[in-house]
Every structure is written in structure tokens, then in C-alpha cells.
Amino acid sequence: MLSQPPLWLVLVAFVCALGPLIFFHEMGHYLVARFFGIPSETFSIGFGRELIGWTDRRGTRWKVAWLPLGGFVKFVGDMSPVSNPAELESVAPELRDRVFQVRPVWQRFLVVLAGPAANFLLAIIIFAAFFATLGAPASNVVGKVKEHTAAAAAGIQKGDRIISVAGIETPTFTDLLNVVSVRPNEKVIVEVERSGSVHDIQVTLTSDQIKDSYGRTFSRGLFGIYPEARALKPLPVLTAIPTAVEYTWRWVRTMVDGLVQIVRGQVSPKQLGGPITIATVAGESISNGPLSFVSLVALLSINLGFINLLPVPVLDGGHLFFYAVEAIRRRPVSAKALDWAFRGGVAIILALMIFLTVNDLASLGLWDRLQRLIG
């Protein structure tokens, strides 16, 4: 089991990782709203009581609150998550035609979409900087096949190029590891290019048990190959940017694949973590140096963008879903239906947070200690 970073470092790393991600996300909402002339009342990093803040000349209150688990932009006239236009009576008459609720549905859609898009953009910028200065991830050409492994049993050879696994493209070894790791002991079709010919090979993956920094044990799929050794070469900027876009997209695909594997029962939901796990991983990452920490920030940014696009009311994806319905029906969903939908969304988010917190506390060994005390 790895040694744990000190608590102060975990807290500092957590704030340094999550704070910029929240800022970028909310800044995406704010900038697109400002482009459309939609006035903003509050821009908050964190929830709860304000720690520091100021009001700009446009009347927007910028603040940092004490609970750094999220943030929000409150537009003028926004009185509830459903943005009911009937509540505009409290808005100054000169602003009523500019508030968010009365803007065309396509503008509201873009304002909401801009938050997750900003998170993906941040990840792309980080990856592009890495690719342009350090080089791109290792290719998908096999450099060595380990004996007595799934790859050796299937006849995989040195020099083979692994095009895809289980129907998912694997242009780099990072993609290959991501696909394989969530498929312990599964039979998969591996598409291999060898000597200019492409073959489909059935492979029965193996597995091993790995421990996280808290000693929790999880199953991980194994293939048994190593990439070919090659020196990393920085990419030209014009190449690094589209490569970073593709790389970010493949990480989104990996997250979708992981969720599917959880639903299928191939991956334990106990591997999901909440704020405590994120804080601990951030602490470990910052202990390993700035490159490791910035890489983690990029991955967390993709996670934040992806999660916010899920069609759950309260999240950005829920708003986008209802705006799409409004565009198709050419009239908004009723305030009553929105209210019930958002109540359900809050219940889902609360249930998920409780589940993740239970997982986090289990990772700290709390339930085992309680069981020993009771026993």
C-alpha cells in the first residue's frame, strides 16, 4: 500500500485541482451569456457563505464561497433551477427583454452547453501543450509479448499493430489499456494488422488484483503486451491540436465504456469515488510532480464536462434535454413538469452523492473499524 500524502497537501491539491475546473466551467457559461447580452447577477466558485468577493461595473457579484464542491453563474431573473419566466416581475423593466428566460431557445442551449465545452477545451489545451513539448502517447505497435498471457495464447506477435479491442479503436497503448482494464476475464475480438494484412483474433483476457492507495482490491483485465520502445518526439503545434482533440474524445469514449461495463457487472461500482477519493488522488498526483498533477487536472476536466452532459435534470445535460424538447415542440415544457423533473434530478444527485460518500468512507476503512467495534 502506498504511503499517504499529508492531509494539508491533500486539501491544497484538491482545491488547486477543482477550483480552476469549476472556474473554467462557469466562465464558459458566463462568456457566452455575455456575448448574447444576458446579464449575470452572481459568479460563484463554491457554495455557501461568501469568503471573498467583489462587484464589477456591470453589477455582477464575483465571489468565492467556503464549500469548494462546485459553482454557479446566476443570471438576472433566475429565481429557481427551472428558470420560470413568470418570476420576471422582480426584474428591473429595462432588463426584462435581456434576461436568460426570454432569450431564444438556441441561445439558452449554447449558454448551457458552453460550461461542459469549456472543460473539454481546457483538457485539449493541456494535452496539446504536452504533445507539442513532450511528445504524443506510445503507438499501438506491439514491442514485446509476455509469456503465459492472453496475448501469447492468442498468437499475438511482436510488430503487430492492435487496431481495436472489443470493437473499440486503440490508436495508442493508453487506449488499449483503458479498454482491456475494464474487461477482466472477457472474451474479446482483437483486430490486428500484421504484414499489411488485417486479422480478427479472439482473445480471452486474463485478470489480476490491484490495490489502491487505501488497500482496496479490484479486478483488472490483462492482455500481456508491451509497446515498442521509441523516443517521444514533440509534435508541431498544428498537429498537436487536432491530436489533442482526438485524444480528449477517446477519453470521453473510455468513460462511456466504463459506465457500460459497470451496468453489465464487469466492473464493480465500488471503484467509483467521490470528493474524498478525488482529493486523495490529487494529493498523490501533486506529490509525483507538476506534470502528473496537470495531467490529472486534464482528466478531471474531461470528467466534469462529461458528467455535466448527462441528461439528468439539475445538471447541464438536463437543461439541454428540455431545450431540445422545446425546440422540437416549438413551445417550452410546462413549469409544473419542469419542477417535478428537477425534483427528481435532485433526488438522483443526492442518492449518487450518498453512494459515493459511502464508497469513500469504505476506502478509509471506517466501516471495517465500526464492524470491529460492534463485533
Residue 200 near residue 189 (C-beta atoms within 8 A): yes
Average pLDDT, the chain: 87
Whether 189 and 166 have beta carbons less than 8 Å apart is answered as: yes
**Greater model confidence, 162 or 364:** 162
- Does residue 133 surpass a pLDDT of 90? yes
Q: What is the pLDDT of residue 12?
A: 87
Catalytic residues: 26
Q: What confidence tens digit (pLDDT) does each residue in 278-302 have?
A: 888 888 888 888 888 999 999 999 9
Task: Tell the residue number behind the cell numbers 428591473, with chain if given.
Answer: 92
For domain 137-231, is the CATH number 2.70.98.10? no
Burial status of residue 246 (CB atoms within 10 A of its CB: 0-12, 13-18, 19 or more)? middle
pLDDT digits 0-9 by tens, 77-130: 775 555 555 456 667 777 777 888 889 999 999 999 999 999 999 999 999 999
Statement: residue 163 has pLDDT above 50: yes
Q: What are the pLDDT digits (tens) for 184-210? A: 999 999 999 998 899 999 999 999 887
Provide the whole-model pTM.
Answer: 0.87
Domain ranges of the chain: 7-132+300-374, 137-231
Comparing CA positions, the residue from 133, 116, 173, 28 lying closest to residue 319 is: 116
pLDDT for the residue numbered 83: 53
pLDDT of residue 1: 47
Quick: pLDDT tens for 249-272. 999 999 999 888 888 887 777 777
Query: What pLDDT digit, counting tens, does each position of 30-81 carry?
Result: 999 999 999 999 999 988 899 999 999 988 999 999 888 788 998 887 755 5
Higher pLDDT, 197 or 216: 197
Q: Name the pLDDT band for 231 (thresholds 50, 70, 90).
A: low
Q: How far apart are CA 229 and CA 109, in angstroms?
A: 46
d(CA 116, CA 26): 9
CA distances from 192 to 136, 184, 187, 199, 227 (A): 22, 20, 15, 5, 14
